[in-house]
Chain A
């Protein structure tokens, strides 16, 4: 399986990262767990080694590598056996940094990205509030514009890196009276006046700091707004996919590691005169667990491959997160059992794993929320997929070969072949490319396609390339509308039929 996804370069990277972790991290993990924090010096060391910002652009100090370097990164850090250590940097690289990379102004990118890539800055993402977790539309933290500042008031909780971090990508309501449309993202520095934090005690993830954060009349310059006002919810919907997906390869690798450790222990531990790995019931339990992990791994890699190719599938990411976190709990519970009483002792690895995995089915969208999302997709045919090109952690636009501008004659032919096979739409519809157009008359028994410029019930403003992408299925019509790639004038219900026309 590995050869399909990983090149020799990936494996060399894996080797060097693994050696680094063995030398610089593993010996200190117990201490960091005890101290309830991971010291920031380790991130600076990793930054110096080039282990951070793997797929961030070189312009900000990143390495501009493909997504499977991130997969390797997550697989390796999750094998050191400390969920708290892993989450501290995952939050920076995959859960908060990408909002700045993908949506923020050049000013903010220049200000913050080089620091999180060099390991000198630690960031956090603050969505959850004491009164609202998964229901992000109903957050209460307000950011009211006052001249060239926002005045922020409210509270956030369960924020990883919220105590010792440098800045917080904060989800706020810039329009408190609106629902999702009032949500915006704001960069708030921990050092700003009015920001106070309280460190929370946790069941697991002991090497990470987790905070409740209060904002009391915090003055935040307007240039700290990420992207546009009111677009925050939309940014979150994209960013959360990466947050969910990036938990999966690490979980798989942690489970593989737990099984390997258990097998080692079972070969050494004797009971009733033989090693316990000779007992059939334990052997079959290993076989079952290993099968489930192997199966999840194939799925995980498939999802990561799609993500790396900028195919962004809410259903698959949600499924992968659900299955991975639930399986991790099962594996941790059953592997601990193999160790008997030693499993309960802190000198053996399973006790910490057992603690650390418990948050998996809660954070980043609980299992219940994952099932809500999946149910809406498979039962109600809700489509959450946003347009596909701006979702990578990296802007890969320079990697995509310039596609030939399709001629409109050729396009009419393509549209015609699709439209003929579909039900007549019952109205008239025009694709407007600016200087050229395609007109579909679906009022008769078939859809008649031409290049005429006539008034239509519904006019869709779109580029020729996007129409090609729409027809090939690489651009999702609902996502394209949501993201503003295509604009619709006239009868919206006609536009809703696009999906039927092109699938």
Chain B
């Protein structure tokens, strides 16, 4: 199609990444899902192939490619049908490394970004706490300066890669009494004394490890502070746009793949003497879903185009994530129905999709929080613009 946002290089990348996944990852996905984690060797392999640093600077081992490569990577990962696998990779390269790339100094980038892009150090991003999820300003983990160290106390939960990662990019209160401007970001090495983590059991995303992390009098050198003290909330808000757009990609891409496998199944499955794709009520359901997916994708692409131009997109990225994750919940439910009893069986792809999609409307800002943000911007004239 002439109006594709992709050029020939993008298409070649998609093909080679798809081949890579089907040869090296797909055969092992069921195993990762059963083990509840992605082995370290996979990160290293991703690193060797350059997939962890697509958009990062060449100076730190990245590929310095445009944003569409990340979109393609996210789209293709959905074809593995393992939201957990995609989350494990994404939490490292798209969240933890993104914060270091954004606010880190040269030394921090040399260590964490360079090693992270190679897949030799694995990171996680820790914001949510047992008592505070979407209400970021109210977080309670403290980092109190004690000469050239911070002493960190508190806990974080629902952290993807929270158990197996090597370093934690954590949101902490350096000024416990202040609200948003008391928040800072800090890098904590896993092997620092006082850091412990427990593995959480989840409904879906089973190939990723999700942890609750405790910090008890953890002493971290002040050189581990990311960016400027008190600017953490701003950094988090900036990255939310990127994260929400990425989750919107997951929403339509998972839906697209669900529809693809469902159409295949419906062409093979017969009932009452004909393929079930001949039944009008099912056909119209497919048509409706296909239309909504196409529209959603068009919306997300339009936002990435503006993102590339540096537009302020807090409202639109929230809208996109809201709609795309609602869509994938609806599509996976309806596609599972097309499979009948087989939809309920683990031998068929929809059972896992149905589990995995459910986190979409919760993580990275719940649908309710997104509606709060959108209505504040639209009704109260709130401005979250953090660019100077």
| B-binding residues in A (CB < 8 A) | 1, 4, 263, 266-267, 277, 283-284, 286-288, 290-292, 294-296, 298-299, 301-302, 305-306, 309, 311, 315-316, 318-320, 322-323, 368, 370-375, 378-379, 473-474
Contacts and interface: CB of A to CB of B under 8 A. Distances in A.
B305 A295 contact: no
A371 B302 contact: no
A287 B319 CA distance: 8
Interface in B1-33: 1-3
B295 A299 contact: yes
A364 to B, nearest CB: 16
B323 interface: yes
Interface string B150-161: 000000000000
B250 to A, nearest CB: 16
B3 A374 contact: no
In this complex, the member of A287, A294, A299, A370 whose beta carbon has the largest number of chain B beta carbons within 10 angstroms is A287
B284 A287 contact: no
Nearest to A1: B302
B194 to A, nearest CB: 40
Contacts of B292: 323
Given A263-B378, A288-B371, A294 B284 contact: no
A283 B379 contact: yes
19 contacts: A287-B322, A287-B371, A287-B372, A287-B375, A288-B322, A290-B374, A291-B318, A291-B322, A294-B319, A295-B295, A298-B301, A302-B301, A320-B295, A322-B287, A322-B291, A371-B287, A372-B283, A374-B291, A473-B1
Interface string B259-289: 0000100110000000001000001101110
Nearest to B285: A371
Given A267-B379, A294-B316, A301-B302, 4 more contacts: A291-B320, A296-B295, A302-B301, A318-B291
A295 B320 contact: yes
A378 B299 contact: no
B296 interface: yes
B298 interface: yes
B64 interface: no
Contacts of B368: 284
A375 B275 CA distance: 14
A375 B286 contact: yes
Contacts of B299: 294-295, 298-299
A124 B125 CA distance: 62
Closest 10 CB pairs of A and B: A291-B319, A283-B375, A374-B287, A319-B291, A287-B374, A371-B287, A375-B283, A287-B371, A298-B302, A284-B371
Nearest to B291: A319
Given A288-B322, A290-B319, A474-B2, A323 B374 contact: no
A306 B3 contact: yes
Contacts of B258: none
B381 to A, nearest CB: 11
A385 to B, nearest CB: 11
Interface in B337-388: 368, 370-372, 374-375, 378-379
B283 A291 contact: no
B190 to A, nearest CB: 39
Interface string B210-253: 00000000000000000000000000000000000000000000
B380 to A, nearest CB: 8
B378 A287 contact: yes
Contacts of B121: none
- B-side interface mostly: helix
Contacts of A371: 283-284, 287-288
B138 interface: no
A378 B2 contact: no
A291 B287 contact: no
B241 to A, nearest CB: 15
B246 to A, nearest CB: 17
Contacts of B263: 378-379
Nearest to A278: B379
A295 B286 contact: no
B111 interface: no
Contact of B287 (A263, A311, A316, A378): A378
Contacts of B286: 375, 378-379
B3 A302 contact: yes
Nearest to B316: A294
A383 B299 CA distance: 25
Contacts of B370: 287
A374 B371 contact: no
B290 A374 contact: yes
Nearest to B293: A319
B323 A292 contact: yes
A374 B288 CA distance: 8
A292 B287 CA distance: 18
B135 interface: no
A262 B372 CA distance: 18
Nearest to A324: B295
Nearest to A263: B379
Contact of A291 (B267, B291, B294, B374): B374
Contact of A323 (B295, B306, B320, B371): B295
A473 B378 CA distance: 42
Contacts of B295: 295-296, 298-299, 319-320, 323
A311 B294 contact: no
Contacts of B305: 4
Nearest to A368: B284
Contacts of B284: 368, 371-372, 375
Nearest to B324: A295
Contacts of B375: 283-284, 286-287
Nearest to A472: B2
Interface string B56-67: 000000000000
A309 B323 contact: no
Contact of A298 (B288, B298, B378): B298
Given A4-B305, A286-B375, A295 B3 contact: no
A301 B302 CA distance: 10
A194 B100 CA distance: 80
A266 B295 CA distance: 29
Contacts of A296: 295
B15 to A, nearest CB: 13
In this complex, the member of B267, B292, B294, B372 whose beta carbon has the largest number of chain A beta carbons within 10 angstroms is B294
